[in-house]
Structure 1
Amino acid sequence: METGLVVFAFLPGESLIIFASTLAAITGSALDIRILIPVFFFAALIGDTVNYEIGRNLHHLSFFRRVIPEAKLEKARSYFKKHGGKTVMFGRFIPLIRTFIPLISGTARMEYKKFCLYNFLGVLIWVTFGSCLGYFFGQLDFVQQHFSLIFVLLALITAIPGVLITLYKMLRNNVSA
């Protein structure tokens, strides 16, 4: 949902992967890491593909053509032609940004096969790294003994970017008013 529905950019995908993978290590049979990894992988892959398709079809909407000038679209096309692969693959690791990269890739008409290849690689690395990290931490005695506290701290840390963006917008609106 984080990438596939665009409006859920605030959802912390990597935190969910790490949290669930940690729980898989702690609970053993309740959550199976061998099931979680493919579920996370396909969820992210499908979400990005849906997001790409949304972007690819935005030009059909009249308000989109009024809001985004053709010159800006041409710049985006040029950028994604040159740097699209790296952007799709490594953008996966940047919270909030990862949600919009597939949308912009589709809007910029990035070649679909190229998008799919780099998206596949980015999602594979992202899910594998996050899942292994969470599973590794879940096997540590300290994490098992203090999991509730760690979960609360992780939730607070994950909320920081959203809080900072909200504060920035509020301050910017107050200054311009």
Structure 2
Amino acid sequence: MHVLSAMPAFLDPATMLQGLGPAALGVVALIVFIESGLLFPFLPGDSLLFTTGLLHQQLQLELPVLIAVVSAAAIAGDQIGYMLGRKFGRRWFKDDARVLKTAHLDKAEEFFKRRGGRAIVLARFVPIVRTFAPLSAGIARYDYKSFTLWNVTGAVIWGTSVTLLGSWLGHYEFVANNIDAIAVIMVLISVVPWGIELLKKRRKVTVGATSGHTGEE
């Protein structure tokens, strides 16, 4: 495994997995759990899972075991997120917070309202939204049994499809020889929502400053 990426280690799946061997299973499960349930949306869930599937033979991981453990970690994380939302509501969120921004929660809640229970499944494939969707369901006091059913469905579909995609593409020489580049692309796709949010925020600040300056004149 050649690590050519200049990305921070915690964002680069190839770097994160390098030299771990079978221990990678625990690391991947922990990160999936944290991203799903402990409100850390910036962790590389999709790219890490894809890369682990791609490298599962090098890491000495059985594919069925990897899928089962990842799915279980995702289910457990979302259950925690739901419970946190049900117990604490919106009190942890602030408009100007760096991570727990009210805007992120608002988007997840709107997504949940539009799609209902299916949002739990669909959110699994949307970075940031998947972190806040179970929290939104808890805040809305969505029926727990229904939430659990959708949660299990989404986690299994996500854990299986992304892992198998990585494993399948790993059979192609081009993919196997460009793991770092592909991992970087996956991470960049995952952080696009953050970039869009940052640009919107800067635009609002710029417009506000311009309006204030015009008013003074």
TM-score (norm 2): 0.65
Q: 2:75 aligned with 1:42, yes or no?
A: no
* CA separation of 1:158 and 1:108: change in aligned 2, threshold 3 A: closer
Q: Number of matched residues?
A: 159
Instruction: Note if contact 2:54-2:167 (Cα within 8 Å) is conserved in structure 1.
Output: yes
Residue deviations 1:50-105 (CA, integer Å, cap 9, x gap) = 0000000125x8x57xx9xxxxxxxx7xx76x953212122222221111110010
* CA separation of 1:88 and 1:158: change in aligned 2, threshold 3 A: closer
- Determine the structure 1 residue equivalent to 2:87: 57
Q: Which runs of 5+ in 1 are unaligned?
A: 68-75
Q: 2:177 aligned with 1:145, yes or no?
A: yes
Instruction: Note if contact 1:24-1:31 (Cα within 8 Å) is conserved in structure 2.
Output: yes
- Determine the structure 1 residue equivalent to 2:47: 15
1:62-101 alignment to 2 at 5 Å? 63=91, 83-101=115-133
Q: 2:38 aligned with 1:5, yes or no?
A: yes
Give the distance between the partners of 1:152 and 1:124, measured in 2 at CA.
Answer: 25
Instruction: Note if contact 1:84-1:105 (Cα within 8 Å) is conserved in structure 2.
Output: no
TM-score (norm 1): 0.79
Q: Which runs of 5+ in 2 are unaligned?
A: 1-33, 96-108, 210-217
Higher RCO, 1 vs 2 (CA within 8 Å, ≥6 residues apart): 1
Q: 2:133 aligned with 1:120, yes or no?
A: no
Cα deviation, residue 161, structure 1:
2.7
Instruction: Note if contact 1:84-1:115 (Cα within 8 Å) is conserved in structure 2.
Output: no
Residue deviations 1:125-159 (CA, integer Å, cap 9, x gap) = 11111011011011111111222332333333333
User: What is the root-mean-square deviation in Å for CA atoms of aligned residues?
Assistant: 2.4
Cα deviation, residue 170, structure 1:
1.9
Give the distance between the partners of 1:11 and 1:148, measured in 2 at CA.
Answer: 17
Give the distance between the partners of 1:83 and 1:152, measured in 2 at CA.
Answer: 31
Give the AA of the match of 1:10: F
Which of 131, 146, 168 is residue 163 of structure 2 equivalent to?
Answer: 131
Instruction: Note if contact 1:5-1:51 (Cα within 8 Å) is conserved in structure 2.
Output: yes
Percent of aligned pairs sharing the same letter: 36
Instruction: Note if contact 2:49-2:163 (Cα within 8 Å) is conserved in structure 1.
Output: yes
Give the distance between the partners of 2:190 and 2:137, measured in 1 at CA.
Answer: 26
